[in-house]
């Protein structure tokens, strides 16, 4: 089994996930997860805001099969929205439909999302629907469409590894979209498998949305893509208000600060909460060098 597959396998292990919840942030996760509590997370947001960096806040959560867990997650997100408003933070929400009950019952999930989006709408806060694996792709877009009938403060993610991403980006061009390469392991019949194919499609999608779309979040740690985008926006006179760069909390920190200092809109994806395990394992799968985060934490005790 390749190292990547091994970490994806670990990320999907429900028993390890619940074991991890019993302990605080461990294994180096504290370098890439902003905190367990909302208070810790607000501190991290304020630090980033001071550097002219906005945040998209994700209450971590996976393996939600009980309605009570989805309701708990919804309440936590509502709490975060209230704090963003009360403390006037430069931040918005990222959420995963599965955490709000998509795997339990579509209508139940929709009602939970609606409550979240409605409160955020009241405070003029944007809500991003993160995209998960292919099995949830179409139902997630359906939720977005249904909620968009009432609310305009929502957007989602386009994953460049899917063959149908081009079709999707055209269909949803009037939304604010985050464009990513894609983090899950997907089968050959739905997704590109090689890095070069994914990278090529990634650039194509970014260029399309920069030229035709509402607002583009370019979410990557890949300096080659970032440099390409910088040259592309200059060449096509695309104003800063039309796009931002995004990176995950704790990754390429210097580059995050530098991009903000250069005057680009920059947004850090800030995951928090007790349910850090699956998120952390996926980051190890993407880049086994991230294992150095683990060793540093273990040996710096
Ligand atoms: P990679 O292809 O992993 O790396 C390309 C090159 O960049 C590397 O070869 C290396 O040279 C350099 N590089 C990368 N990382 C580092 C580093 N840490 N330090 C130094 N050099 C580095 N995926 C989803 O499926 N759904 C989502 O909703 C989603 N949301 C995301 C939100 C954000 C803000 C980000 C940043 C990613 C998100 N992802 C999501 C994950 C995404 O799909 C990719 O799996 C992940 O970002 C890795 O791809 P990459 O573009 O960063 O670069």
Task: Work out the burial of residue 156: count CB atoms within 10 Å of its CB; fewer than 13 is exposed, 13-18 middle, 19 or more buried.
Answer: buried
Could you tell me if 272 and 59 are in contact, meaning their C-beta atoms sit under 8 angstroms apart? yes
- pLDDT reported for residue 297: 46
Cα 146 to middle of ligand 1, angstroms: 29
Cα 161 to middle of ligand 1, angstroms: 12
Q: Is pLDDT at 4 greater than 90 in this prediction?
A: no
Confidence tier at 14 by pLDDT (50, 70, 90) = low
- pLDDT reported for residue 289: 61
Residues 57-71 pLDDT 10s: 999 987 788 999 999
Ligand 1 atom at shortest distance from the alpha carbon of 247: 36
- pLDDT reported for residue 33: 86
Q: Is pLDDT at 24 greater than 80 in this prediction?
A: no
Cα 280 to middle of ligand 1, angstroms: 13
Residues 141-175 pLDDT 10s: 999 999 999 999 999 999 999 999 999 999 999 99
Average pLDDT over residues 249-253: 92
**Domain range annotation of the chain:** 34-275
Per the DSSP assignment, residues forming a β-bridge with 247 are 268
Q: Hey, is 23 helix, strand or coil?
A: coil
- 4 pocket-lining for ligand 1 (C-beta < 6 Å): no
Q: What is the pTM of this model?
A: 0.91
- 283 pocket-lining for ligand 1 (C-beta < 6 Å): no
- pLDDT reported for residue 238: 98
Give the residue, by CA position, lying nearest to ligand 1 atom 26. Answer: 131
- 157 pocket-lining for ligand 1 (C-beta < 6 Å): yes
The residues near 114 (Cβ < 8 Å, ≥ 6 apart) are 147, 150
Domain 34-275: give its CATH architecture.
Answer: Alpha-Beta Barrel (3.20)
Ligand 1 atom at shortest distance from the alpha carbon of 202: 51
Ligand 1 pocket mutation, candidates 287, 292, 294, criterion most atoms within 8 A of CB? 287
The residues near 88 (Cβ < 8 Å, ≥ 6 apart) are none
Left (φ > 0), alpha (ψ -120 to 50) or beta: where does 109 sit? Answer: alpha
Confidence tier at 300 by pLDDT (50, 70, 90) = very low
Q: ipTM value of the model?
A: 0.98
Nearest residue to 176 via CA among 158, 202, 197: 158
Cα 20 to middle of ligand 1, angstroms: 24
34 carries a ligand binding annotation: no
Residue 279's CB: how many other CB atoms inside 10 A? 20
Confidence tier at 299 by pLDDT (50, 70, 90) = very low
- 55 pocket-lining for ligand 1 (C-beta < 6 Å): no
What whole-number percentage of the chain has pLDDT above 90?
75
What whole-number percentage of the chain has pLDDT above 70?
85
Give the residue, by CA position, lying nearest to ligand 1 atom 20. Answer: 252
Cα 107 to middle of ligand 1, angstroms: 32
Of the listed ranges 3-12, 105-114, 210-219, the least confidently predicted one is 3-12
Give the residue, by CA position, lying nearest to ligand 1 atom 50. Answer: 220
Q: Is pLDDT at 242 greater than 80 in this prediction?
A: yes
- pLDDT reported for residue 71: 97
Active-site positions read 130, 178
- 252 pocket-lining for ligand 1 (C-beta < 6 Å): yes
Q: Is pLDDT at 298 greater than 50 in this prediction?
A: no
């Amino acid at each position: 089994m390749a190292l990547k597959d091994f970490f994806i396998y670990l990320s999907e292990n429900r028993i390890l996930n619940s074991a991890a919840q019993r302990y605080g942030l461990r294994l180096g996760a504290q370098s890439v997860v902003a905190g367990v509590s909302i208070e810790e997370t607000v501190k991290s947001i304020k630090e980033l805001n001071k550097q002219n960096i906005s945040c998209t806040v994700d209450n971590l959560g996976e393996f939600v099969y009980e309605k009570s867990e989805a309701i708990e997650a919804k309440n936590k997100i509502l709490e975060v929205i209230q704090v963003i408003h009360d403390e006037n933070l430069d931040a918005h929400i990222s959420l995963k439909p599965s955490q709000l009950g998509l795997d339990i019952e579509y209508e139940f999930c929709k009602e939970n999302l609606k409550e979240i989006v409605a409160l955020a709408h009241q405070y003029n806060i944007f809500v991003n629907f993160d995209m998960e694996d292919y099995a949830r792709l179409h139902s997630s877009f359906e939720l977005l469409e249904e909620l968009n009938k009432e609310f305009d403060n929502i957007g989602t993610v386009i994953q460049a590894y899917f063959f149908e991403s081009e079709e999707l980006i055209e269909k949803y061009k009037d939304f604010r979209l985050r464009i990513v390469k894609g983090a899950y392991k997907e089968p050959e019949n739905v997704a590109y498998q090689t890095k070069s194919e994914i990278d090529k499609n990634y650039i194509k999608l970014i260029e399309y949305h920069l030229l035709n779309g509402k607002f583009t979040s370019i979410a990557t740690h890949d300096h080659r893509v970032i440099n390409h985008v910088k040259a592309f926006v200059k060449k096509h006179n695309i104003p800063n208000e039309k796009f931002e760069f995004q990176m995950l909390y704790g990754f390429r920190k210097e580059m995050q600060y530098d991009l903000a200092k250069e005057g680009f809109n920059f947004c850090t994806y800030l995951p928090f909460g007790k349910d850090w395990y699956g998120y952390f394992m996926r980051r190890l799968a993407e880049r086994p060098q991230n294992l150095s985060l683990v060793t540093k934490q273990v040996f710096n005790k």
